Structure 1
Amino acid sequence: MEGVSVLPSRDAVASLIAWWREAGVDTLVEDSPRDWLAKQNPLPRAGEGRLRSSQGEGLKAALTALTPLAPSGTSRPLPIREREELPPSLPELLAWMRDSAEVPEARWGRTRILPSGDPHSGVMILTDMPEPGDAEAGRLLAGDVGDLFDKMLAAIGRSRETIWLAPIASVRSIGRVPSDVGSLLVEIARHQIKLVAPKRLLIMGEVPNKALIGDDWQSRRGDYHMLNFDGVEVAAVPTFHPRLLHKSPSYKKEAWRDLQLLMKGL
């Protein structure tokens, strides 16, 4: 009848409620307006700010226990906990590098490429980190760069089995390595060199040469550099990385001189 409101049926009400529930608006909302297009504030770090309510305290505790993920395109390694000293023997050091969550590159990837070869060969070759594809290949310096490296070894009468090949970092970094993490990696590399105590050390590439020889390492090529590793003196020869030789073959002649210097007297 005109002027008399008709209440919706029970089925209609149930249908309406179900529709709102599926739309996700069946929960309480705030009375104050919200700018949904505004950028969200980052989650507070442990110890910064306060989360309200009992649920907020639980979330705060959970966030404190987690290590924040690195932004896309960067690497944030797991920090090394305080320790008295590195493992005292080479087998113990290698096991620590393979299994420990304390190594600086532990968060960079799952596959670690460890040093390999013969630590008693008298020749140690140091590089910076694995190449792209090394993790899948399961060895350091695989692919085209590795083929060139094998030819370099063959030219001086050596092979992977008759040298000790070691990277400063066992996992390839996605982005720039922070200076403090780099210092820890170099410290571990220096300790490894001390334990191996090679007669000759070939340092390949800019990063390890800057760390052990200095920023002017290229101008100081062509001679031995006597480096002291906590009482162990090693004759080091700086040279270019095979990846550079692969891209720029014009450097091969200079690299060949470095290889000859490496093997002189051995």
Structure 2
Amino acid sequence: MTIRVTVWNENVHEQENKIVASVYPEGIHGAIAEALNTDPAITATTATLQEPDHGLTEEKLAQTDVLFWWGHCAHGEVSDAVVDRVCNAVWAGMGMVFLHSAHFSKPFKRLMGSPCNLTWREAGERERLWLTSRNHPIAAGLPDHFELENEEMYGEPFGVPEPLETVFLSWFSGGEAFRSGLTYKRGAGNLFYFRPGHETYPTYHNENVQRVLLNAAKWAYNPAPRLTDPNVAPNVPVEQALEQIEERGPKLHHDGEEGFR
């Protein structure tokens, strides 16, 4: 089955900064989608902030198995209604991959329930990413570590909840370390945060970074049917419970007012 990916991007830097436009002539979203589409198991399309509903209508999200999100300078311009829509889709089972400065996006902060703050420095420093979970599916096909010659530094403390697993740990030439690949489960949805991706550097053209993105799309994909309404807590009638008990076999039965045994 083909994994349907939507790559969302603010698409602001590409229009306002000549350096970014030269590094990503088709936009950051275009570069990521192109890399994902090299795998026959994935079909990637794009959406941007400037489109109606930011390109994320109910219909589009219903047709999205995994949503990638890149944001930086326009977090506040994202509609709260779209944030609600995205979070509901995640809780219902849509996978999501947050990239670089998306740690401060509205959807990420909503899903984490925490400030998601960190320290940073823009100095074009070398970043070395170490695998901290060799057998994790997102690490498949990667060396024990790889380097990015120039990146923006992110440093601890990182104000997020404890992850299910830390897949990558970054070291920067300034001496800082940062948990750069974190996995979470929110409702029925799988989430992955991946740190690298400053807009003025060709990070998303890097072969190892592209391998991480491909692996992340496959890991975040949930083949189970989407929950119809993840915000509902249904009341199960007593009659239905009795039917389920009878179906489980004769050893379980109801003793009237004395309860079940």
The TM-score with structure 1 as length reference comes to: 0.34
Q: Which has the higher contact order (CA 8 A, sep 6+)?
A: 2
Higher strand share: 2
Larger Rg: 1
The TM-score with structure 2 as length reference comes to: 0.34
